Structure 1
Amino acid sequence: MKPNLTTLGKVFDRVDAMSVNCFDQNIAVPDISFDNLDIVRIAGEPHPLRPVAQRSISNRLGIPYPYLTRCPSDVQAMNLNHWIKHEKNDQLLFRFDGQEVRAVFTTKYIPVDNFEVMERLDSLGYKPETPVQCHLDTEFMSLSIPDGAKAFDINGDKFKPGISISNSEVGLASLSIAAFVLRLVCTNGLVAKSDVSASYRHVSTKILGEFPIVMDKVSLELGAQREQFRLSLESRVDNPESTLASFNRQFALNGGEKDAVEWAWPQEAGETMFNVVNTYTRAAQKEDLPAESSFRLSRVGGNILGMLN
């Protein structure tokens, strides 16, 4: 789903469609074997392993994933089949999408699905026509809800603060809530550095019950974002491109994320930290980015903004 503004109802429909063939199953460890890193057999039946599932089972068995990807198929199978016999749990939780395995966890892990998040928002009174910004794919969801009542202007630029909710059904990140600011001129969305934003490991569904409390706490931070943007406009940067390269290293951006920053810079070029911050939020809109990378770039922009004082 593209990052431009859409509605909560359309996001709900997309989440619903993506979940149609998804289910979970506890699998007895003795029933698990591998043809290679791409195929796991469950009681003899082959199932494709998606990349996230490959990484999670490799980490679970203590085998470095980069090493496995460089091995020939028979060596992959030898390593995986050897170490699965040493798995200390009797069962593992497999998350399926049809016949494909999308993630592997221990049975103590209690996933929070995107569908549950959407239902919680509905129960809190958010209507289907509510405008939202969303990055969504099979691995990650970032959903931001601007609040028009708290909009503000800075030097003619219009901003709408709000709430950002992120979640990964396959374990890439915890369910979290943070402050969000939307720059209306280009629909750049910034996920703010936050002192009270909540993040919960998926060992309980506690956060779903605490949504109203957490969202109220996060909303108290929104007023501070206006002052941070003012500071960014007043903060000169002698060599912006060198500054971007430094932040890329500091926040350990991957190759695709760095390419997105390079793509965004000409559109936001200038000599202040405002331009630097908005380069990262613009980069989050690049078409071919995974949803997780789009969220990370928006968060990097927020982290940089939060450094200003």
Structure 2
Amino acid sequence: MVARLYGPPVALGELEAELSAAADRQLDLPVRADEVRMDSARMLRVQGVPHPMRREALDQLAARVRIPATYLHRCPDDLVALNVNRWLERLSGELLIRIEGDEVRAVLSARYQPVSHLSLVRTVLEQVPDDTPARYELSPLHFVAQVLTPTALSDDGMHGGLYLGNSETGHRVVELHALVYRVICLNGLILMDSASTLRRRHTKRASDTLDEARSMAREAWQTASRLPGRFEAVRSVRVPDPEAALDRIAVRYQLGPDLGRALIDAYRIEPGNSLFDVINAVTRAGNAPQLELTDRTELQQLGGRILDLAERGERWL
């Protein structure tokens, strides 16, 4: 699977079609540990059938048998097989092997309760029309989507929406948050409000997680419909030196030099002297293509956190 980065919104139906096509190529194999072996070509034999392994799946297998993944990647192929098989022989219990096409995409504990990207989208958005705008990012490790209100909720082109996050390979939790999206800068601000936020590990029944997500989505849509007005309200809060404020934000929230530079770069695209402009720069930096998804998501969530703190009169800087 080739990673797809955030871009302009597409129709929700297009997103569903891509997720459905991916699901058709996927297979789960619950197996005993003694039904799994590595061969000298780094192929994982599952019940005797050889499968190529994605790097991240080999990392998971290494963790499962308690071999440092960095060491395993440096080993010649025959030594990889020798090491892995030696410890697989001592491993008891069951594993969940997740396959896509012919490749092993994940090696997980049998306790892992998969929530598919497709079922998350269909459950949470079951009443949402197919032409609803959605931005999304999809890679072998993660899926995130921003599903937007069809029409703007402010004169500045701001939409309410939902943020969904998931991994089918054990690399992140199931997430749902309210958000506000600003068309002019492809800018999503994620609100980490506990009343409209869901974060669940893949350790409970998938149907229970999906039921929670469906219920939480109703509250999140209502929260999202109010967000544009809340964001607009901070235009009246003056910030005398926005670039200095952004530098202090980078220090206060321990963002590091790459994210700090992204804040300044984003601000200079659309400068201004209000708290709105500062928050806008933080969330706009969350689109910087040179940053990892975790960093971009952190910036979009930080924008929501600053907005929430400022509204409550608490220290945000």
- TM class, shorter-length: 0.7 to 0.9
Structure 1 residue matching 2:188: 3-state secondary structure: strand
CA contact (8 A) 2:62 2:68 kept: yes
In the alignment, structure 1 residue 120 sits paired with structure 2 residue 123 = yes
C-alpha RMSD of matched pairs (Å): 3.3
Structure 2 residue matching 1:210: 3-state secondary structure: helix
Residues 77-116 of structure 1 deviation map (CA, whole Å, 9 limit, x = unaligned): 4443333233232x21011001111111122222111121
Query: Aligned match of 1:138 in 134, 140, 149?
Result: 140
Equivalent residues in 2 for 1:204-283, closer than 5 Å:
204-205=205-206, 206-222=208-224, 223=226, 226-227=229-230, 230-231=233-234, 234=237, 236=239, 237=242, 239-240=244-245, 242-243=247-248, 245-246=250-251, 249-250=254-255, 264=266, 266-269=268-271, 273-283=275-285
Equivalent residues in 2 for 1:37-186, closer than 5 Å:
39-89=43-93, 91-121=94-124, 124-147=126-149, 151-153=153-155, 157-186=156-185
Q: Which ranges of structure 2 fall in alignment gaps of 5 or more residues?
A: none
CA contact (8 A) 2:44 2:53 kept: yes
CA contact (8 A) 1:37 1:68 kept: no
Q: Which whole-Å CA distance do the structure 2 matches of 1:53 and 1:190 have between them?
A: 32
Q: Which whole-Å CA distance do the structure 2 matches of 1:297 and 1:177 have between them?
A: 16
Q: Which ranges of structure 1 fall in alignment gaps of 5 or more residues?
A: none
How many aligned residue pairs are there? 301
Decide whether aligned partners of structure 1 residues 148 and 62 sit closer, same or farther in structure 2, where only a CA change above 3 A counts.
same
Query: 2:194 maps to which residue?
Result: 195
Q: Which whole-Å CA distance do the structure 1 matches of 2:232 and 2:59 have between them?
A: 39
Q: Once the 2 structures are TM-superposed, how far is the Cα of residue 23 of structure 1 from its aligned partner?
A: 0.8
Q: Which whole-Å CA distance do the structure 1 matches of 2:281 and 2:167 have between them?
A: 25
The one-letter code of the counterpart of 2:307 is: L
Q: Once the 2 structures are TM-superposed, how far is the Cα of residue 219 of structure 1 from its aligned partner?
A: 3.4
Decide whether aligned partners of structure 1 residues 267 and 149 sit closer, same or farther in structure 2, where only a CA change above 3 A counts.
closer
The TM-score, its normalising length taken from structure 1, stands at 0.80
Structure 1 residue matching 2:194: 3-state secondary structure: coil
Decide whether aligned partners of structure 1 residues 11 and 296 sit closer, same or farther in structure 2, where only a CA change above 3 A counts.
farther
Q: Which whole-Å CA distance do the structure 1 matches of 2:78 and 2:260 have between them?
A: 35
The TM-score, its normalising length taken from structure 2, stands at 0.79
Q: Once the 2 structures are TM-superposed, how far is the Cα of residue 22 of structure 1 from its aligned partner?
A: 0.7
